[in-house]
Each structure stands twice: as structure tokens, then as C-alpha cells.
Amino acid sequence: MARLPHGIIKETQRLLAGPVPSIKAEPGESNTHYFHVILAGPQGSPFEVGTFKLELFLPDEYPVAAPKVCFMTRICHPNVDKLGRICLDILSGPQHSRCGTVLLLIKPLLSAPNPDDPLANDVSEQWKTNKAQAIETARACTRLYATNNI
């Protein structure tokens, strides 16, 4: 059995000891680099009725290399592409943070989408041209994909 890098062991201990409010992160059974994440949609957002599955991956180089996080539940959001990848500055570059902080920063992104920094151009265009319709589309998508999916 391969030995886990120290940074991954410490991060696993942190996530299990101090859970993030309204976010549940559990280590994968077969791969300790992966965490299964359950995130409740933020109140007051088009995503509030949803419960979203995400996957968090810690590379061997963590904490030097940033964690990778992606939505496994489909979401209609300008900053999340069809593969679930998230456009969030803290996920790239040297300024990334601990996993708990990264997970906490996803909730405000859901509450305040940024169509000027999109990963999903079609969704972004709708947010720019018809925000009310974009919000309704996000709600409908959330009801379709992010309810009763746990």
C-alpha cells in the first residue's frame, strides 16, 4: 500500500475534525485522494432547493498544488461548465487555500454568479441579456437535477 503524502493526511484530518457548515465531505473508500462532497444550495439563490454532489481531489503535491473540485450534479451556472469544472480564482495558482476554505467559497459563487468570467458561455449570455430568465432556468435545472439525487 502506497504511503499518503503528509499534506493529504493533515487535510483529511482537518475536514473530518472541523466540518464545513452545510457541506459534508467524506474521504473516498478506494482512493484517499478523493472526497465525496455534498453541498446544500445557498438560501436566497436559484439553487436553494438543490443538494449538489461534488468531487474534491487532492494531488500528491498538495498543499503546493491546488485541490481540484468539480460538480458531479449538473448545474446551470455561468461559472461551471458541462463537465462540472468550476471557474474560481482560488482553485488555480499559488493563492489556493485549504479544502474547507475552497468549499466555503463555492457557496457565494452560487449565490452571486459572475457572467463576466464564464466557463459556460451560453449560460453566461443568458445571465447578461435576461437575468430573470437565467434565474428561472437555474431554478428549473436545480429542480430537475439537484433534488432527490442523494
- Domain range summary for the chain, segments of one domain joined by +: 6-145
Q: In this structure, what C-alpha cell is assigned to residue 132?
A: 430573470
Catalytic residue among 76, 87, 99, 141: 87
More confident residue, 101 or 147: 147
With cut-offs at 50, 70 and 90, classify the pLDDT of residue 150: low
Lookup result for grid cell 437535477: 145
43's CB contacts (< 8 A; 6+ apart) are none
Per CATH, the architecture of 6-145 is what?
A: Roll (3.10)
Per DSSP, 65 falls in state S
Mark whether 87 is an active-site residue.
yes
According to the model, what pLDDT value does residue 146 have? 96
Considering only CA atoms, which of 117, 128, 40, 37 is closest in space to residue 80?
A: 117
According to the model, what pLDDT value does residue 149 have? 66
According to the model, what pLDDT value does residue 1 have? 42
Considering only CA atoms, which of 41, 33, 58, 70 is closest in space to residue 141?
A: 41
pLDDT tens digits, 7-55: 677 777 777 676 667 788 888 888 878 889 999 999 999 999 999 999 9
Per DSSP, 89 falls in state G
According to the model, what pLDDT value does residue 92 have? 65
Name the pTM for this structure. 0.85
According to the model, what pLDDT value does residue 18 have? 65
pLDDT tens digits, 56-115: 998 888 777 788 899 999 999 999 999 999 987 766 655 556 777 788 888 889 999 999
